[in-house]
A and B are shown apart, each in its own frame.
Chain A
Amino acid sequence: MIYELVKKETKEHIFSRKGIGFLFIVSILLSIMSFGFISVKELSLLDQPSIVMTTFKLLLGINILISMVIGSTMVAGEKEKGTLESLLLTPLTKRKIIIGKLIAILVFWLTVTLISLPYFIVLSNGTSMLPTILFYLYVVGTVLVISFSSIALIFSTILASTKNAMIVGLMIFLITLVPMFLSTTMKKAGFAKLIQSYSPISASMKTMKDLFINKLGALDILVGMVPVFVFFVLALSVSLLISKKVDFLGGE
C-alpha cells in the first residue's frame, strides 16, 4: 500500500511539471557552477577539495530548500484540495501516509544525487575523493534531507495551509543557516554560538571541511556529526508522532 502512495506522490510532486522544473534548476545551477570553476580565473585557482565542498554546499542547500517546499505542500495541499478525507478513509494508517510522503521526497533527493554524480566525478577527477564524496552524498546528504523534509511535513500536518507550512518550515531552515552569515567573532557569543554548536547545518559543514581538507579520522568525523544525527532522530520521531494529527479538518 505504501508503495502505491509513494508512486502517486512521486508522480504528483517529483515527476510532474513542478518536480521536473526543480530538477532542471538543480542541473542548470550545477552546470553554471562547474563552468565557473573552469572559466573564472579566481575560482579556477581553488584546490579540488574546496571545489567539491563548494559544490556540495550548493547542492545540499538547494535540495533541502526544494525538499522543504515539496514537503510543505504534501499534507496541507491534500487538506486544501479536499483529498485527505478520502485517503484517511482507506486502510492506510496516518503514519503510513507520512512515511509514504517522506519516501517520495527521498526519491527526489536520490534523483538529484544521480544528476549530480557526473559533476562530482569530473570535479574530483585525478584524486581519490570519489568514495568520500559518495559517502557524504548518500549518508550525510540523505540524513539532512530526511530531517528537513520531516520538519516540513510536521508543519504541513499541523497547519491547514500550504503557504503557512512553507513559511514556518523555511524559517526553521534559515535559523539553522544563521552561523554561515556571521563573522568568526560573532559565532563565539550568545545565540549565534548556540546555533553554531547545535545546528545540523553548521555541523555538516564543519565535518565536510574536516573530511575533505583537514583529513580527520573517522572517529572525529562521527563525533562532529552528532548534531546532524540527533537532529535527524528528533525530526523523524516528531514527524512520526505528529502523524496522529493528520486531519482533514485542519489544525489552525
Chain B
Amino acid sequence: MIKTIGLRKVYNNDYEAVKHLDLNVGRGDIYGFLGPNGAGKTTTIRMLTGLIEPTEGMVFFNDREVSKGKQELKNNIGVLPESHGYYEWMTGKQYLLFFASLYGMNKASRIQRTNDVLEMVDLTEKANIRIHQYSRGMKQRLGIARTLLHEPQIIFLDEPTLGLDPQGQKDIENILVQLNKEQGVTIFITSHLLKDIERICNRVAIVQRGSLLVEDTIPSLLTTYEAMIEKENVNLEDVFFFLTDEKRGESKHDL
C-alpha cells in the first residue's frame, strides 16, 4: 500500500534527517515504525503523508507516486500528528463535524459518520462537552476519531499514546486493534512503548539517525536476532536495544 524508494530528507542543506529509506507497508498491516528520539520518524511520516517534500526518493501510495496525486492521498489517509492542537472552544462533536465538512461530506453523512466514529472511540457521552474540558486521553481518542471520519485506507499515528496513563494507552491500543480487525484499516504507528508495539503490530521497521536498521515481521525479527542476543525469550525490546546500541557503538568507533 505504501512503498518508499530511497527516501531522503535534508533540512537547511546540512542536516540529513532521513537517509535513503526503503519501506514497504502492506494492506491490512499494523506497522510499527520505531526508533530513538531524533531518528527521523516524524519527518518520515510527514513525507509519507505529503506534508513535506522529500529531498530525494519517492513515495508510492497504492502504486501511484504521492507527489503526482496529493489530493487522492489526502482523501485516503488519516493522520494523527505527534503534538497537535485542537480547536478547544469547539465541542468534540463540532470538531468532528467541522473536519467531516472539509472532506466534502454532505450534512446527513457527516452527522452519521461523526456519531459512528464517536462511538468507535467511546466518546459519545462526552460529544457535547467543549474540548478544553477533555483529558489528554480523551483528546487523543478524539484525534483518532478525526483520522477515521472519511474512512481512510490507512491511518498514520505519531506517538498516539504519548503522555497517557496506562488505561489511556490500553484504550488506544484496543481501538487500533479493533479498527484493524473489524474494518481492515491499515495502521502506521510510531511509539516508544515497545511491548505494546510487539503486541499489536505484525510488522516493524527500526530506524536510527535517519537510516533503516531493519524491517521485518515481528516473529521473523525475533528468530533472526535470538542467537545474536544470547538470551531466552527474546522480545522486541531486546532486538531494539541490541540494534540501536550496536549502531551507537559503531558510530563512536567511526569517530
Chain A interface residues (CB < 8 Å from chain B):
1, 4-5, 8, 11-12, 16, 81-83, 85-92, 248-249
Shortest Cβ gap from A70 to chain B (Å) = 15
Q: Which residues of A have CB within 8 Å of B49? A: 89
B104 beta carbon closer than 8 Å to chain A = yes
Q: Which residues of A have CB within 8 Å of B209? A: none
Determine chain B's interface SS by DSSP, over half rule: loop
B79 beta carbon closer than 8 Å to chain A = yes
Bound-complex Cα distance A83 to B84 (A) = 6
Which of B75, B87, B104 lies in contact with A83, CB distance below 8 A?
Answer: B87
B74 beta carbon closer than 8 Å to chain A = yes
Residue pair B81, A5 in contact (C-beta under 8 Å): no
Bound-complex Cα distance A16 to B81 (A) = 27
Q: Which residues of B have CB within 8 Å of A87? A: 102
Residue pair A8, B98 in contact (C-beta under 8 Å): yes
Bound-complex Cα distance A11 to B94 (A) = 12
Which of B51, B83, B104 lies in contact with A89, CB distance below 8 A?
Answer: B51
Q: Which residues of A have CB within 8 Å of B91? A: none
- What are 8 A-B contacts defined by CB distance under 8 Å? A81-B85, A82-B85, A83-B86, A85-B51, A85-B84, A87-B102, A91-B104, A249-B52
Shortest Cβ gap from A67 to chain B (Å) = 21
B153 beta carbon closer than 8 Å to chain A = no
Q: Which residues of A have CB within 8 Å of B51? A: 85, 88-89, 248
Residue pair B102, A91 in contact (C-beta under 8 Å): yes
Question: Which 10 pairs across A and B sit closest by C-beta, in order of nearness?
Answer: A82-B85, A4-B101, A81-B85, A90-B102, A83-B85, A85-B81, A82-B84, A89-B79, A91-B74, A85-B84
Q: Which residues of A have CB within 8 Å of B86? A: 83
Q: Which residues of B have CB within 8 Å of A248? A: 51
Bound-complex Cα distance A163 to B27 (A) = 45
Shortest Cβ gap from B87 to chain A (Å) = 6
State which residues 93-116 of B face A: CB under 8 Å.
98-99, 101-104
| A5 touching B85 in the complex, CB below 8 Å, given contacts A88-B51, A91-B71, A91-B74 | no
Q: Which residues of B have CB within 8 Å of A16? A: 89
Residue pair A90, B84 in contact (C-beta under 8 Å): no
Residue pair B74, A89 in contact (C-beta under 8 Å): yes
A78 nearest in chain B by CB position: B85
Shortest Cβ gap from A212 to chain B (Å) = 42
| A1 touching B87 in the complex, CB below 8 Å, given contacts A86-B99, A86-B146 | no
Q: Which residues of A have CB within 8 Å of B77? A: 89
Most A Cβ at <10 Å: residue of B79, B81, B85: B85
Q: Which residues of A have CB within 8 Å of B146? A: 86
B50 nearest in chain A by CB position: A89
Q: Which residues of A have CB within 8 Å of B52? A: 249
Shortest Cβ gap from B77 to chain A (Å) = 8
Shortest Cβ gap from B76 to chain A (Å) = 11
Given A8-B87, A86-B81, A90-B102, 18 more contacts at CB 8 Å?
A1-B102, A4-B98, A4-B101, A4-B102, A12-B87, A12-B89, A82-B84, A82-B85, A85-B51, A86-B84, A86-B146, A87-B102, A89-B77, A90-B99, A90-B103, A91-B71, A91-B75, A91-B103
Q: Which residues of A have CB within 8 Å of B79? A: 86, 89
Q: Which residues of A have CB within 8 Å of B71? A: 91
Q: Which residues of A have CB within 8 Å of B101? A: 1, 4
Residue pair B104, A1 in contact (C-beta under 8 Å): yes
Bound-complex Cα distance A4 to B103 (A) = 10
> 0/1 per residue, B63-82, Cβ < 8 Å to A?
00000000100110101010
Shortest Cβ gap from B190 to chain A (Å) = 15
> 0/1 per residue, B130-164, Cβ < 8 Å to A?
00000000000000001000000000000000000
